[in-house]
Structure 1
Amino acid sequence: MSDPSVPPQMQMLLLLMLFLVGRVGAWTGEINGRVLCDVCGDSSIGPEDHALAGAEVAVLCITESGEVVNYQAFTDSKGAYTVAETMPEVDRWSSCLVRPIGGPHPDCSRRADARAGVKFSYTRPSGYSHTVRPFLFKPSLAPVYCA
């Protein structure tokens, strides 16, 4: 919505200034991934596997200035989670650790892979994301059709 008392050229100039001020020294990072139920426990994603909605994921990052920041994310109906933040360039993430905590899925609650978490250096430029390989959980007993 525009203000009719401000000329269109001035509105455009103000928008450009706001954009530039917001971009000076700012950095935006994003980490995303998925949590799935590996129904057969074969460590591969197949048609029988499904997303785990509501699974909790912890993301711990160390910034360029040495600060430790901790995030908590929950998966959506597609098993996807995202952590994103905009911060000063000097506080951008340097390295991160992502690990699954679990979720409200008693039928698929055991870790299917040996990874306790994924650690990586965050080298993405502002506005880009880092995608973590899916975390897999498996049921206590695999269905008969998996044998």
Structure 2
Amino acid sequence: MYDDDNRLIEVKNASGTTIASFNYDHLGRRISKTTSSGTIYYQYDGDSNRVLYETDANNNIVAEYTWDAYGYPVTMTKGGVTYYYHKNGHGDVTALTDENGNVVAQYQYDAWGNIISKTGTMASANPYRYAGYYYDEETGLYYLMSRYYN
């Protein structure tokens, strides 16, 4: 379901059950995602499209991110552990390593960004994937700020 500004606000499965719902700010950036796991709120770096951190319904920080000058993710901190992004020349996240250099996630994509394989303990927990875009595990959609792709 889309709102009057053509922003995706709800995704349902084939039986009509809501999988996820979304809210946006005045700049059109997604500021929350609600799923069966709860609600996550996105906090941005000023007017940019870079998420600095995510909070839960109790305002606890559940993830923090740092970015390079080109808008690609550099680190993600979850559960007190910092993870490092590794990407190819296209900007696709191909791996995630922990503070000790252990590979905790690996990804392979086809030419259109479909995930061919993902492995590792943090593979599903990491949202930034193909071309550095945010991937919603619940819906199977990439969030590109102004649109969603499957």
TM-score in terms of structure 1 length:
0.20
Which of structures 1 and 2 has the bigger CA Rg?
1
Q: Relative CO higher for 1 or 2, CA cutoff 8 Å, sep ≥ 6?
A: 1
TM-score in terms of structure 2 length:
0.20
